[in-house]
Every structure is written in structure tokens, then in C-alpha cells.
Chain A
Amino acid sequence: MSRLITRRRFLIGSTLTASALGLSGCDAVVESPKVQSVLKIAEGFTMKTQRFLLGDDALAREFSAADISPTFRANGTSMPDGGQYQDLLSRKFTTWQLDVGGLVERPAQFSLPALKAMPARTQITRHDCVEGWSAIGQWSGVPLAALLNQVGLKPQARYIVFHCADEFEKTLDGSGWYYESIDLVDAFHPQTILAYAMNGRDLEVPHGAPLRLRVERQLGYKQAKYLMRIEAVADLSGLYGGNGGFWEDRGYEWYAGI
């Protein structure tokens, strides 16, 4: 009988402990840095698995014109308020130039007409926001691979960083500028383009005029808008929060394949 009571006590005791932990300790456990570093293991696991399954060149689904969303929701910044961007906008981006530098052999600037003169790719794809909604749109632009081949990457280059014209979060130290980064697998993927047109028209301001990134196998926050400068780097630790992107510096995964 004593054994039974011991077990009964054990069962009741463990149930009470579990519910007490559940009620009071939840948010404290969630915020523990140790717990967070353990949880981050899953991101590496997800990326390795997806890269293994996808290979380098598997394409995202492309849709037909009939599938295009009637309204494509604009998210994040819909009008950069900096003086520089306002000046470019008032001149209809005729003075805008994309600066390509960092670990490249031949740093260069590209005007909008110069980009439009390069071989283009048009694709109708689904944009998946990390929040859960989706919109389908048609994008036209220059494959990033073509641009990178033109400037020539140095051997040490590992990531491509996209610097944007919108300061998404106003801070005193300037850490709130939008930026993003991808590795070379995604940079040279055939569907990774610098888009200057959406649904057959010049890119509108809420969608990132004059140029935005499309990385079709990842979530919406990777699709940086208002591109100003592209930089090839060897590692991401020296930029802003060191995590490779505006949202990444605020806790989101760098690899946004899920």
C-alpha cells in the first residue's frame, strides 16, 4: 500500500508543480537568454533541411495573370520621409543611382534606365508575410546574378547586403534604417531579381520605388524596398545589430524560409 501512496503523491505533486510553473513562470522562461539560444538551434536545422531538399535552383511557384491579387497589401514603410528620398521622388528618380560596392572587383553605379536596359525577368509570385497573409503580384526586374557578375565578386564575399532609403524606426543612433541580407545561394537564384516594375507598371512608392528585392523562396521581410546601395560582405556581424537585417536585429530569423 505504501508504494501506491508514494506514487499517488508523486503524481499529485508533479501535477501541481507543472501547473504552478505554467501559471507564473511562462514569460520569465520565454525571456531567458539560455532558453532563446537553445530555441535558435531550430533555425539552423530548418535552413539546412530546406537547403538540402531544395538544392540551389528549385523555383518558387509561378502563377498566371488571373491569380494576381486585386489589392496587393503594402507593408512596412509606405512612404520614406527622409529628405534624400523625397528629393529623389520629386525628380521621379532620374537622379537615383544604385550603388554597388563592398567586396567586389569593379564597384559601380547603376541608373534606373541602365538597369532597365539589362536583360530582364518577369515572374508572377506569391508574397508571404511573416504575419500570415499572402498576396500575388507580377514583378519585372534585373536578375541579381547578372548585376553581380558585372561587378565581379571577390572570393571572400559571402553575403549580399541591401541598404534601403527608409528609416523604419526612428532612433538617436541611426540603428533603425531598413536593411536586409541574403547569402550567395539565394543571390544567384534565377528568381532573385531587383524589381523596378510591379503588375506591368513602374514600382509604386508603397511597394518600394524605384527598386526592390525579390527573393521568392523566403518571407516578405526579406524583400527589401527602396534600395539605395548593395554591398558584398564576408560576414554580417559588423552591420547594425549584427544579425543581417532590420527584423533579424529584432528577433526574427535570418533564414526566412518558413
Chain B
Amino acid sequence: MDTSETMPTPPGSKRLIVHRHSIAVRLSHWLNVLCMTILLFSGLQIFNAHPALYWGPYGADNDPSVLSMRAVEGGDTTRGITRIGSLSFDTTGVLGVSDVDGQPTERGFPAWITLPSYQDLATGRRWHFFFAWLFVINGVAYLAYGLISRHFRRDLLPKAAELTPTNLGHEIADHARLRFPKGEKARNYNTLQKLAYLTVIFVALPLMIATGLTMSPGFDAFAPWLIDVFGGRQSARTIHFIAASGLIAFVVIHVAMVLVSGLFNNMRSMITGGYAIDSRPEPAVKKDFAS
């Protein structure tokens, strides 16, 4: 992360623009945004073809499900009921039953979050698999770059001192108060960032790909051991759904952090690479986060 240019700043302060993200990281990041967005929306379209999840090698209508979204007739209205384990929730309007052209319609996820908006499994699959390929190619290229350029070792691998309970405790407390590293410390990812990114890159995303492949009857003939790793095709489908939910949670927190820790500076660093840091000595109390 080298200093590449100096920005005009108010007198008395030293604001540096450092080169934060390499072109490979920026490109793969935005390709990932595109792929994961389409994979999510088309994935929910595919889920809607059979809005229930099971555990084990098989699972269909008459087998016990761990999650289901159904339309239940009650009096003169149709209610959408989402069941997780033994807990049932009335989710009318969003899950189970939602409006299509003003009419309450039986469907798992609502039209505004599926691709295409109307029920069309064949099209949903075509989008899902095309962008799954793009996602995998992008991921492989990124992994190769991360290893060769030492991006993982240099930027993402936490140092031993960062992993002490004291340091982690401090960082969690600072995050909770929305206090982010300033000055020289802002040159590098903080430990929570490193751990979150490592988990996404090396656990969550590979898990999405592996559980997705386990649902393929063709791939299962090539790697039957994968079926056993996940406890069966229907378990793999359920884990695919859980891991996707985890990724959504990550994206929500990630975007929230981008917003509160300086939207413009963060966006610029992921588009042009340039990231402004304040090299003045850290003030005792820092009030503004959106510099």
C-alpha cells in the first residue's frame, strides 16, 4: 500500500491517498457483487419450485422437512405460513403467500426478490448456472492472484498479536461504538475485517460451491464422497440455503460498515484504488466517522 498522490486538504493536516486495493482485487470484488446478486435472486427462484428443505439423502412432500413455506386456506383468506422446525410463523405477504399482479399467490419468496420475477424455474436455472460458472472462474483467478501476489499473507492473515483476547476485545468494543482505526492504523485491515474476509473467502464461498455441486446427480457420480461430507443431497441443499443466508448477513454488515466508516472514501478505494488516510496524530476523542 504505497502513497501515490497527495490530495488538497485544509491547512495543517496531512491527508494522504494511499493505494489500498489492487486492480485484481477491485475487479474480482465487483464481478463478485454481480455474480452473487444474480445467484441470490435466481437461487430464490429455484428454491420457489419446491419451497421446503430437508435433512438426509432424500426428501419430498411426504417426508419431514426442516423448513417449509406454504399457503394455508383459513376462512376466506389464504395465509402464508413459514415453518422452521416446530415453530410456525405467519409470513403472509412476504413468504408463502405474496401478491402477484395484486392477487395473493402461493409462492415461497416474493416476486420482487426472484429472477425472473414470475415463476419460471427453467430461466432461473439458466441464470444461476451461467453466473455460477462466472463466479467460479472469478474465484479461481482471485485465489491464484492472492497466493502469487502474497495478498492473503500480507493483507488478510492476522498476526499473532492481533489474535490475543485483549486485542480482539478492544476491536469488538471499538466496532460496537462505530470507532474505526484512523491514521497509520487505517492503512491495513483490522483484525475483525481480516477474520470476516477469510471466513467468506475460504469457508462460506467454497461451501456454497461444494453444496451446489453435491446437488448435481452428474457430479455426485464423479465425487460420491461429497454426498457423505454433507450427509446427503437434501442436507447439502439445506446447507446451501443456510450458507447463502450467512453470506446475506455478511453483506448486510459489510455494506453497513462501508456506510458508517466513510462511504465515499471506501467506494473510491474499491473503484480507483485510492484511499485517504489522515496521518495526523490520533486525537483523544474522535467524533466524526464520515470523513
Contact = CB atoms under 8 A, between A and B. Distances in A.
B117 A54 contact: no
Main secondary structure of the interface of B (DSSP, over half): helix
Give the size category of B's interface with A.
35 or more
Nearest to A10: B271
B168 interface: no
Given A251-B122, A251-B126, A257-B218, 9 more contacts: A11-B271, A41-B130, A45-B133, A69-B60, A70-B62, A72-B60, A134-B59, A252-B122, A258-B219
A4 B233 CA distance: 52
A42, A46, A252: residue with the most chain B Cβ atoms closer than 10 Å: A42
A218 B118 CA distance: 26
Nearest to A134: B58
Contact of A131 (B50, B123, B130, B234): B50
Residue among A7, A11, A31, A61 with most chain B CB within 10 A? A61
B14 interface: no
Interface in A66-111: 67, 69-73
B230 interface: no
A7 B213 CA distance: 41
A91 B117 CA distance: 47
A253 B127 CA distance: 12
Given A11-B271, A26-B117, A39 B127 contact: yes
B264 A11 contact: yes
B218 A218 contact: yes
Contact of A67 (B57, B133, B271): B57
A128 B271 CA distance: 43
Interface in B222-252: 222, 224, 227, 233-234, 237
Q: Which of B7, B47, B122 has the most CB of A within 10 A?
A: B122
A60 B224 CA distance: 8
A173 interface: no
Interface of A: 1, 4, 7-8, 11, 26-27, 30-31, 36, 38-43, 45-46, 50, 53-54, 58-61, 63, 67, 69-73, 126, 128-136, 216-219, 247, 250-253, 257-258
Contacts of B50: 129, 131-133
B58 A42 contact: no
Contacts of A53: 219, 222
Contacts of B120: 251
Nearest to B53: A132
17 contacts: A1-B8, A11-B271, A30-B123, A39-B127, A39-B130, A41-B130, A42-B132, A60-B221, A70-B62, A72-B60, A129-B50, A131-B121, A134-B58, A134-B234, A136-B57, A136-B58, A217-B218
B40 interface: no
Contacts of B184: none
A1 B8 CA distance: 7
A129 B121 CA distance: 12
Interface string B61-76: 1110000000000000
B237 to A, nearest CB: 6
A24 B237 CA distance: 31
Contact of B219 (A59, A250, A257): A257
